[in-house]
Amino acid sequence: MAVAAAPQVQTQGPGYYRIMVGDFEVTALLDGTHAFPIDTVVEGMSGKEIEANLARDFLTPPVQGSINAFLINTGSKLVLIDAGAGDLYGACCGHLADNIRAAGYRPEQVDQILLTHMHKDHIGGVSAKGTMLFPNAVLRASKAEADYWLNAANKAKAPPFLGSFFDAAIAAAAPYQSANRFEPFEGDVELAPGIVSMQTPGHTPGHVSYVVRSQGQMLIVWGDLVHVAALQLQKPDTTVKYDSNAASARHSRKDVFGEVVRDRSVVAAAHIAFPGLGHLRRQGNRFEWVPVNYEAEPGKPGGH
């Protein structure tokens, strides 16, 4: 009897992945993947070097880059760190809200959205067409970040390729501002029990990372300290065209690399292959990414 050839399915499972950090449940959420324009964006590495480093990680361009966000349930607060691109990157992306639901949560349960920075692949998903997608959340970012991106006067002084980034940030934040639900913060401060901001400027003027601590375990949500792991772990001096201040971005990256190696912290990375959760291992001046071990039932007693 003839059996028809099965068509290829060409999709993945829902884009969420959970780990525990002490008593906190951390859910990595995929917004989507897109062809990352390595050849036009990476600076400080020759074309040959890029090719060799990609090949070393078994990659050939165009490399699909992940856009990850992280939902932290502390037991009393539900905190979303970054919110994906919303409708600003096209059909590849903007799947954050669907993946929140697939992960067993609802956007209206989120108490607080913490942005690492206001680039459109991080702030785009907080609202759509002038409406808050997280209607009960307070939106927070560093004051330096808000002062820069939410001021249209800065757009005129910035390189033209950044113009749409200003428009996107202003539009995404607007509904939260009108609802008095936008609260910038200054410095390294505790924003929810166990979640503290850490200034890591350079990629943008007010870029921050978030340090999450529970029961002696530590997670660093480092935003855009790394865009292409295959390149920037091999050569941490490598920057991207979108860095506001390349020297300062380099400095922040190296500082945090040193800290997470020393503390053996878990890293949550916006643009390392989904779920973007792992550890760094130092090899001389280079680093290696070690993805977290898989657990089918994180947080279940006896699951360890």
Which of 119, 253 has the CB closer to Zn ion?
A: 119
Residue with tokens 């505790």: 190
Binding letters toward Zn ion, positions 214-253, x by CB under 5 A:
----------x-----------------------------
User: Residue 89: which residues within 8 A CB-CB, separation 6 or more?
Assistant: 32, 34, 67, 120, 121, 124
- β-pair partners for 239: 43
Are 210 and 195 in contact, with CB atoms under 8 Å apart? yes
Residue 217 Cβ vs Zn ion, minimum distance, rounded to whole Å:
26
Instruction: Calculate Rg over the CA atoms of the chain.
Output: 19
How far, in Å, CA of 99 to CA of 68, rounded? 11
Residue 211 Cβ vs Zn ion, minimum distance, rounded to whole Å:
19
Which of 175, 205 has the CB closer to Zn ion?
A: 205
CB atoms inside a 10 Å sphere around CB 198: 18
Binding letters toward Zn ion, positions 33-72, x by CB under 5 A:
----------------------------------------
Which of 176, 242 has the CB closer to Zn ion?
A: 242
Residue 94 Cβ vs Zn ion, minimum distance, rounded to whole Å:
14
Residue 119 Cβ vs Zn ion, minimum distance, rounded to whole Å:
3
Binding letters toward Zn ion, positions 69-88, x by CB under 5 A:
--------------------
Q: Is the peptide bond before 62 cis (omega within 30 degrees of 0)?
A: yes
Which of 194, 275 has the CB closer to Zn ion?
A: 275
Residue 65 Cβ vs Zn ion, minimum distance, rounded to whole Å:
9
Are 206 and 117 in contact, with CB atoms under 8 Å apart? yes
Residues 87-126 that bind Zn ion (CB under 5 A): 119, 121
How far, in Å, CA of 21 to CA of 224, rounded? 21
Which of 119, 250 has the CB closer to Zn ion?
A: 119
Quick check: 145 binds Zn ion (CB under 5 A)?
Answer: no
| Among 286, 292, 288, 270, residue whose Cα is nearest residue 65 | 270
Structure tokens, 301? 């007693």
Are 263 and 270 in contact, with CB atoms under 8 Å apart? no
Closest chain position to Zn ion (CB): 119
Which of 31, 121 has the CB closer to Zn ion?
A: 121
Residue with tokens 């992960």: 103
Residue 301 Cβ vs Zn ion, minimum distance, rounded to whole Å:
37
Which of 123, 191 has the CB closer to Zn ion?
A: 123
Residue 267 Cβ vs Zn ion, minimum distance, rounded to whole Å:
15
Which of 25, 224 has the CB closer to Zn ion?
A: 224
Residue 80's φ and ψ, nearest 5 degrees, are -100, 125
H helices present in the chain, as ranges: 38-41, 47-56, 96-102, 120-123, 143-149, 152-157, 163-178, 229-232, 246-263
Residue 248 Cβ vs Zn ion, minimum distance, rounded to whole Å:
14
Residues that bind Zn ion (CB under 5 A): 119, 121, 224
